[in-house]
Structure 1
Amino acid sequence: MRSPAMAMRISGRFDGLRRLGGVLLDAALPPHCLTCEARVSAQGTQCLACFGRLQFIAEPVCEGCGTALPYAGARRCEACVARPHRFAAARAALVYDDGAKALLLPFKYADRTELAGPLALHMARAGAGLLARTDILVPVPLHWRRLLGRRYNQAGLLARLLAARVGKPWAADALRRHRRTASLGELGAEARRAAVAGAFAVAESRAGLLAGRRVLLIDDVLTSGATADACAEALLAAGVASVEVLVAARVAAPGRGRA
Structure 2
Amino acid sequence: MLAAMESAVRLIYPPRCVLCGDLTEADFALCPLCWGETRFAAGLCCDQCGAPLPGEGDGSERCDDCLVLARPWGRGRSALVYAGGGRRMVLALKHGDRTDLVRTLGGWMARAGRGILGPDVLLVPVPLHPLRLLRRRYNQAALLAGAAARAVGAAHCPDALIRLRATRPLDGHGREARFAALDGAIAPHPRRGALMRGRSVVIVDDVMTSGATLAASAEAARRAGAARIDVLTLARVVKDA
Shift of 1:240: 0.9
Verify the 8 A CA contact 1:134 1:216 in the aligned structure 2. Answer: no
For residues 45-103 of structure 1, the C-alpha deviation after alignment (integer angstroms, 9 at most, x for no partner) is 22111112111112321122221122224711222222221111211011110110221
Select 2:228's aligned residue among 233, 236, 242: 242
Query: How has the CA–CA distance of structure 1 residues 146 and 24 changed in structure 2, closer, same or farther, with 3 Å as cutoff?
Result: farther
For residues 97-149 of structure 1, the C-alpha deviation after alignment (integer angstroms, 9 at most, x for no partner) is 01102211111111111101111111111110111385211011111111111
Verify the 8 A CA contact 2:161 2:193 in the aligned structure 1. Answer: no
User: Does 2:78 correspond to 1:70?
Assistant: no
Separation in structure 2 between the aligned mates of residue 147 and residue 239 of structure 1, nearest angstrom: 26
User: Does 2:127 correspond to 1:147?
Assistant: no
Identity rate of aligned residues, in percent?
A: 43
SS at match of 1:66: coil
Separation in structure 2 between the aligned mates of residue 25 and residue 108 of structure 1, nearest angstrom: 30
For residue 128 of structure 1, what is the aligned residue in structure 2? 114
Aligned length: 238
- Point out 4+ residue stretches in structure 1 off by more than 6 angstroms: none
Query: How has the CA–CA distance of structure 1 residues 161 and 169 changed in structure 2, closer, same or farther, with 3 Å as cutoff?
Result: same
Structure 1 unaligned blocks of 5 or more: 1-12, 255-259
Verify the 8 A CA contact 2:110 2:149 in the aligned structure 1. Answer: no
Query: How has the CA–CA distance of structure 1 residues 112 and 20 changed in structure 2, closer, same or farther, with 3 Å as cutoff?
Result: farther
For residue 77 of structure 2, what is the aligned residue in structure 1? 91
Amino acid of the structure 1 residue aligned with 2:168:
A
Separation in structure 1 between the aligned mates of residue 76 and residue 94 of structure 2, nearest angstrom: 21
For residues 6-58 of structure 1, the C-alpha deviation after alignment (integer angstroms, 9 at most, x for no partner) is xxxxxxx6xx1xx5554444333443322224222333222111112111112
SS at match of 1:129: coil
> What is the Cα-based RMSD across aligned positions, in Å?
1.8
Higher mean C-alpha displacement, 203-212 vs 70-79: 70-79
Greater percentage in helix: 1
Amino acid of the structure 1 residue aligned with 2:75:
A
Separation in structure 1 between the aligned mates of residue 205 and residue 116 of structure 2, nearest angstrom: 14
User: Does 2:137 correspond to 1:156?
Assistant: no
Q: TM-score scaled to structure 1, two decimals?
A: 0.86
Amino acid of the structure 1 residue aligned with 2:106:
A
Structure 2 unaligned blocks of 5 or more: none
SS at match of 2:85: helix
